[in-house]
Structure 1
């Protein structure tokens, strides 16, 4: 029994330890602080800014998983230096729970300056949000 418990705990620890995919340079997470739960099923669009044309170009679009996460934006093997923007489409998320909200979407712009991993999460409620550079 002890061996089973140890093996199970080791397996769970391995999953948690390697949950962040090292093959991708950018991840995001949404925590709905009004519920104390991750925000699942929220569409997030990633765009890159072109300094010459002063325009944004589409890079990728994904939905948050059951844990409110997207871990696989921007493959690490590419040159990802530049200015990016994540657009969090929050309106549909709140509509699903019949919750009135103030922000139909949230845009967060940031600069990737090196090959390190960048985590850009938001904490969310119907009438506010906050963001920071996580790890």
Structure 2
């Protein structure tokens, strides 16, 4: 009986814990290809485009972690369809290493059309970058 109660309690706690876990629809990652390392400490701003007004609205701004990642843009708690822009503020990232960069910031515009996860990474160097739809 004791084992049954323990198993039941563990199952209830595990289910409650996982049910409370928040998920996100959008993530990003920066890899500095000139170093072969993630770009940590880069501020990334997320904005959404209002088609009717032809204006951008602030959504969120975060800083990349030690792995060059931001994993928690756009909570899955609501529909997030629309046109978005990520602005990567890379100037300070290069300045801290006394590297001159051609790009003070990089803007990537994309459209979310469904409830799937969207990953928008960039590969970066002081004089070039590339982006793609990741997973």
Q: TM-score range by the shorter chain?
A: 0.7 to 0.9
Aligned pairs for 1:23-102 within 5 A: 23-102=23-102
Unaligned runs of 5+ in 1: 1-20
**Deviations 1:38-71 (Å, cap 9, x if unpaired)?**
0000000000000110000000000000000000
Aligned residues: CA RMSD: 1.0
Counterpart Cα distance in 1 of 2:31 and 2:67: 9
Q: Report SS of the residue matched to 1:92.
A: helix
Q: TM-score, normalised by structure 1?
A: 0.84
- The count of corresponding residues between Structure 1 and Structure 2 is 115
Q: Aligned partners of 2:87, 2:112: CA distance in 1, in Å? A: 16
Q: What are the ranges of 5 or more consecutive residues in structure 2 without an aligned counterpart?
A: 1-20
Between the aligned partners of 2:122 and 2:22, the Cα distance in structure 1 is 21
TM-score by length of 2: 0.84
Deviating beyond 4 angstroms after TM superposition, the runs of 4 or more aligned structure 1 residues are none
CA distance in 2, matches of 1:116, 1:22: 15
2:22 touches 2:75 (CA, 8 Å); kept in 1? no
**Counterparts of 2:127 and 2:119, CA distance in 1:** 23
Task: Return the index of the structure with the highest Cα Rg.
Answer: 2
Offset of residue 77 of structure 1: 1.5
